[in-house]
Amino acid sequence: MGLSFKAGRLLSIMVGATLAIPGILVGTAAAQDTLNVGGIYGGVWADSIRAAILTPYQQKTNTKMNIEEGISSVTLAKLRQQKSDPALDVVWIDRIVSDQAILEGLVEPIDAAVLSNLADVAPNAVIKDKAGNIVALTTGYWAAGIAYNTKEINTRPQSWLDLAKPEYKGKLAVYTPENAIGLPLLVTIAELKGGGPDNMDPGFAFFRDLVKNGAIMFAGSPAGGNLLANGEAAIATLASTQVWDLQAKGFPIAYVAPKEGVVGGDIRVHVVKGAKNKAAAMKLANFAISAEAQESLAERLLVGPVNKKVKLKPETAAKMPWGETGSPDTIRLVDPYVIIDKRDAWTARWNKEVAQ
């Protein structure tokens, strides 16, 4: 027997209502991925990674994200502590610390089949292990130069060695080895003073004298930016991105790319070994190297993009980390494996001789 019009209409309404009840026969709603993301640094770095990569990806994919901020050394410590039961799925780690994580097997190979944006990315931005597996992707090149307060410093520094000038005494702030640029800068100073990785005495002596003369030490770039902003320091070793952020906030801070070249690195995205949401993590890594994400990150954070399809605005191109007259070729990239081999010994020596 057929249904009457009223009965059929009532059945239709009941079915529609049932489909609308959460958790009941909702076949049209896609399952929501959840990602635990860590290591997005802090300050302007965290704000920019959120705005350029994480938030757009959330909006495009309806992915839920739990996000932790933290510098690379802290993130590495978490990966070690959580090795048997990782709480994080995706992490951003700086160059040298990244290589340490790769050597320790703390990150997961990324399936090239998921990386639809791979063909548009510079080859040196694709980080592989000794077996040829993709284990990290560079999402931007950054570098540190010298930042100074134009109202407090009369003589613009030109060289890394200028940090030791008497006129900067009591006004200086410098990175510690906790920062990803700290040890590469220590190696650079040693080389400029006639030493190098096999003879670090000149580097340690240089920084020891700076600290004895009142230099403040800091780990994260946001902390260095705060020292300049609140007047505790008038000149500092600092990432270019932090300088542009200070300028945008109205502080009279200028950036110098020393004549010997800025000391640089890259920020890398990794999938954590044993990640509970590995498939979703790899998709996020792929989006991070897309032209869309790379252009947005470069415009916001002023890091050098890795996607070859990115077209930067002239004003952005002028603020790339290598300075106005430099290029990617002028970045000093210290061999990470040299630092990995010597990290613990050099850090212990720093703590004993410099940070006493």
d(CA 185, CA 241): 17
* Residue 165 token pair: 């000038």
Q: How many CA atoms lie within 13 A of 190 on its CB side?
A: 17
What pLDDT, on a 0 to 100 scale, did the predictor assign at position 327?
77
**Predicted local confidence at residue 356, as pLDDT:** 75
- What is the rounded CA–CA span in Å between residue 75 and residue 234? 30
Question: Model pTM greater than 0.75?
Answer: no
Which alpha helices (DSSP H) does the chain contain, by range?
5-20, 43-49, 55-61, 72-81, 95-103, 182-192, 201-212, 221-229, 240-248, 278-288, 291-301, 314-317, 336-353
CA distance 89 to 34: 9
Residues 317, 28: Cα–Cα separation, whole Å: 45
- In this model, does residue 23 exceed pLDDT 70? no
Q: Does residue 165 or residue 43 have the better pLDDT?
A: 165
Task: Over range 164-171, report the average pLDDT.
Answer: 96
d(CA 226, CA 178): 17
pLDDT tens readout for residues 176-220: 998 889 999 999 999 999 999 999 999 999 999 999 999 999 998
- Please say if the pLDDT value at position 24 is more than 60: no
Query: Which band of pLDDT confidence, cut at 50, 70 and 90, is reported for residue 326?
Result: confident
pLDDT of residue 30: 54
- The pLDDT-based confidence of 31 (bands split at 50, 70, 90) is low
Q: pLDDT at position 336, please? A: 79
Least confident of 6-10, 29-33, 296-300, 349-353: 6-10
pLDDT tens track for 111-158: 999 999 999 999 989 999 989 999 999 999 989 999 999 999 999 999
Give 3's pLDDT tier (boundaries 50, 70, 90).
Answer: very low
Lowest-pLDDT choice from 17-26, 144-153, 161-170, 313-322:
17-26
